[in-house]
Structure 1
Amino acid sequence: MEKKEPKINVLVSWWTKRDGIKDYWLKIDKFLWRYIKANIIKNTNGLTLNPFYFINLAKKCKKCDLLHIQHNYCLFGSLFNKINNIHAFLFYFLVKFPKGPKIITTMHDIVEPRKLNFFKRFYLDLMNLPIKLFSDKIIVHRTVVRDQLIRQGFKAEKVSVVNYGVDDVKNLMVPEDARRKFGLPERKTIVQFGFVRPDKQYELVIDALTELPDMQLFIFGDAPYKDYLDFLKKEISKKGLEKRVIFKDKVPQHMNYEWLSCGDVIVLPYARISASGVLSDAISAHLPIVTSDISEFKETEKQGVLKTTNVYSKKEFARTIREVVNNPKHIKANILKYVKNNNRNEIAKRTKQTYEEVLNEK
């Protein structure tokens, strides 16, 4: 008798045009279909406080053998983006009982409780409770994040690491050709890209640029925080760098890698990350990468695809950028190995393997 193929649903946030988690899953899903079918359930109104929306969403999601939730803390109701996961317990409970499917939760946004006061830690525990109680498996993208969850009381045997994955991009332009195509001045170029937000600490790169007189900084991406963008422009003006800092706010997503090719190095001086689509795209662009020395980047540094540094020391930050730009071959060779082992097709295979393990558990 032919074995019945399991029905798999995947819940994905779908209420904004640009959504890193949605983009992540669509890239994986493109390859996952080669190995196993998964039906996308679109959460089109995750910020609503209406419980009946989530009751109906749960009814829709549970019609399967396995539900895979692409989780962030705004997925199940949010009040002013401050009080989140309001209806998460209701949703998970209704999916699981009675006779619900197996549940896998991929946690994309992790909060480190050691940096929170007592009340915020208690609130974080409440948001995590339904994930702990009702998930048969929890996926994270980094070992350091797995360790954080275990410290927060998640069962070690439930938490698995499946890398975020990278694109296997072919026929990338060399920087000189890309700069010529897009009309950028011909000089060594530092690139920053993605959403321009305060926690990405763009001002530290602007400060380091004063130590790199032969280089320019190219910033592209949406800037939703106007006050922060105004602050950056004032810093640029104050340091007399107007001719060496170039902004471009709108780049079509399908042209990201062409614009990234304008750079000789990508710099990510972030204060925090969880799953970084920007880091994934940076590796996919086959460019040397310099980052802050937070633990998440240090884990990736072990693969030899980036160089961490003290971004709060202007001179050390600038020195590391200079070293990487002058000697990119070692990092580029490691990036090619990383892409081979962690491209989206490989991640789709590992995702399918995780599905099978959970479905076969008693």
Structure 2
Amino acid sequence: MQSLNLDPNGLWLGRIERPGVGPCVVTLREGVVTDITSKAAPTVRDILEMDDAVSYLRNAPGKAVAPHDGQFAWLAPCDLQAVKACGVTFAGSMVERVIEEQAAGDPAKADAIRGRIGARIGDSLSNITPGSVEAEAVKQALIEEGLWSQYLEVGIGPDAEVFSKAQVLSSVGAGAEVGLHPISTWNNPEPEVVLAVTSKGIIKGATLGNDVNLRDVEGRSALLLSKAKDNNASCAIGPMIRLFDDSFTLDDVRSAELTLTVTGEDGFVLNGHSSMAQISRDPADLVRQTIGRHHQYPDGLMLFLGTLFAPTQDRDTKGGGFTHKLGDVVTIANPKLGSLTNTVRLSTECPEWTFGASHLMRNLAARGLL
């Protein structure tokens, strides 16, 4: 468990793939992976929907999975939940979205635009509450300056951006390859906290996520968001969901500091961070904007909260900024949520996603769990 860096005091819920068996629901007990899959709760969704998921996870019968037991693989810790994401929730990353749009997806133009408007916008928006009277005044000032953007609308306007990041069961877990669409030449990782939310809108816990971002594709047009965000292996979540209890609460999410390290085969190293304390919208408000009477999720959802991180460090050429190279190893970490590590490949080279909801149901039925 060393590579996942999971807090021994945490209450952990996750999934693994056991060869010859299939997806299994697991927890950690004294650092040992323990299979707790049962008829009572054959999926992670079933446990999260329980009124007292904490007590169930602590007391559920289980069997230790030995390290030599088929060399299991970590899966994303969600199964039947929808995977949603919030964008432009930090003023710093919002500025980069505006720059992407102004540059029309061309990284060579971005540096000049960043120097012209970056500080001006970022400084003026850092302490503004979205949807407030002050935010509206800034909006009007930016319109007069010719700098208004759809990204500023969702960044400081009343309504948050919420989009579908990945299909149910398509997310990859810790140790897996993450995919870039081959049409992209300007892209980056996005380190984020991901909330586990029930069908009733109750936040039961949190984990880490990499909302892989194609800056050139989305920069050409926001209408390409789906192509920029939802591709084979383009969503990584893990390593496990930490349930809220006395040792970990939503306030820990609100104050979480995430670190990011990208290590390339070329020797390049990028270090970054995202501070949840600087988020413009409270996580609970983002959940309320996503699920409610206006939109239901019968199996709950996983909600990416957005990121402060927007890389500007040059990798190859001055003013060219950062972009991934194949083979990059990306690690997102937080002391209370562990470490999520993945290797960058093309989406067309990552293992195809072939195990959908129908396959899961058939697998569980064949194992006598339904």
Tell me which protein shows more strand as a share of its residues. Answer: 2
* TM superposition score normalised by structure 2: 0.25
* TM-score calculated relative to the size of structure 1: 0.25
Larger Rg: 1
Q: Flag the structure with higher helix content.
A: 1
Larger RCO (CA under 8 A, 6+ residues apart): 2
